[in-house]
Amino acid sequence: MSRPRLHLVTTVPLSLATLLHGQPRALAEHFDVHLVTADGPLVDRVLRQEGLPIRIVPMTRQITPRSDAAALAALTAFFGRERPDIVQTYTPKAGLIGMLAARAACVPHRIHGIVGMPLMEATGRRAAILTATERLTYACATDLTSNSTGLRTWVHDHLTRKPITVIGHGSINGVDTAAWRRRMSDAERDAHRATIDIDPDDVVFLFVGRIVRDKGVEELVEAFDAVHRVHPHAKLLMVGDFEPDLDPVNAATAHALDHHPGIRRTGFAHDVRPWASIADVFVLPSYREGLPNSLIEAGSMGLPSIATDINGCNEVIVPGENGVLVPVRDGGRLRDEMQRMIDDPLHFAKLRAASRPSIVRRFDQRWFHGELVKYYLDRLESRG
């Protein structure tokens, strides 16, 4: 008997290479899995890590009507030929085009995964466009999932009353807790720190993500500068790329990121674990999230976290157990909590000791994949 055919669709291969790393391969033990994404330098990496066929469809993260229409036609024809049982989409553009194409091709199970919401920070014409496209995506889907209960509540309050399922305790992929753990010796840690001019006794705050305004980078740089004036041995390690065309940081922040004596930038990293291994505290002052992978990965590495009190972050961080939460855009509170991590060793040690156990208990990837398989099988059975 043939296995159910499952097509996973993302806008760009970066999502498959990082956010969904390992998930397609795990699902392939139960389904006939095909991947769909745009072309790019990471396609070969995805092929190597997942070992599954990839269909290239030209998609962009921006609003490009002519290109989007071509992608819709190509994807509709592809689904019509392949006859998948399930199409699962992630990210807004892949969701819109993928759900429209799957519906046109009469795919019986059309599942869109809501993993982030740019609409939360949008205003004016852009907000109107994003609202319309999200609602159209949901209308074409037979089922919806969300990577956090807070995001599910927000979508129910603003966009749709359709049922939305949260897999497990949330997240898009869980975390491979066996891979995401500290392995460096003290000597290796000190040597790796030295490569970017960080001393063994420095206190290192780590940020991982896109260097854009809605990740709270402007508040982070301002707060760190204040901490650094009191504690010159503090360092801020920024792992990620600027996105000048999508919500760029202001000029003062961009200048500080390149010239501040306490800030180190690595650019984008395929493997963040070596940088997490030399850090002491993870910081994510984002304005909006689904359920951030970076936060559960950092926790799995044993890092206590300072994050904003928003949906997703407040489902990972248990205040006083594995980290602390601060209000959105509150640079003063962010500064205070960063400084407390340095000034209060007992507070820091307590959070660090509980960080990894807290993540392993709730977000282990192998368990999450099992819950995802059960969800897909339940969808197939519910409609025969």
For every one of its 384 residues, what pLDDT tens digit does the chain have, with 9 covering 90 and above?
689 999 999 999 999 998 999 999 999 999 999 999 999 989 999 999 999 999 999 988 777 788 899 999 999 999 999 999 999 999 889 999 999 999 999 999 999 999 878 888 788 998 999 999 999 999 999 999 999 999 999 999 999 999 999 999 999 999 999 999 999 999 999 999 999 999 999 999 999 999 999 999 999 999 999 999 999 999 999 999 998 877 899 999 999 999 999 999 999 998 999 999 999 999 999 998 889 999 999 999 999 999 999 989 999 999 999 999 999 999 999 999 999 999 999 999 999 999 999 999 999 999 999 999 999 999 999 865
| 8 Å CB contact between 343 and 186 | no
> What's residue 137's pLDDT?
97
> What's residue 47's pLDDT?
95
DSSP-derived 3-state class of residue 162: coil
Angle (nearest 5°) at CA 215 between 209 and 221: 95
| 8 Å CB contact between 86 and 6 | yes
| Residue extent(s) of CATH 3.40.50.2000 domains in the chain | 5-174+365-382, 186-363
- Between strands 54-56 and 32-37, the pairing is parallel
| 8 Å CB contact between 167 and 375 | yes
Which amino acid type is present at position 112? H
Six token digits for residue 109: 């199970």
DSSP-derived 3-state class of residue 374: helix
- C-alpha dihedral, 41 to 46 to 49 to 54, nearest 10°: -140
> What's residue 383's pLDDT?
66
Half-sphere exposure of 80 (CA within 13 A, CB side): 10
CATH architecture of 186-363: 3-Layer(aba) Sandwich (3.40)
Q: What is the pTM of this model?
A: 0.86
Six token digits for residue 122: 């949008």
> What's residue 102's pLDDT?
98
Using CB atoms within 10 A of its CB, is residue 124 exposed (0-12), middle (13-18) or buried (19+)?
exposed
CATH architecture of 5-174+365-382: 3-Layer(aba) Sandwich (3.40)
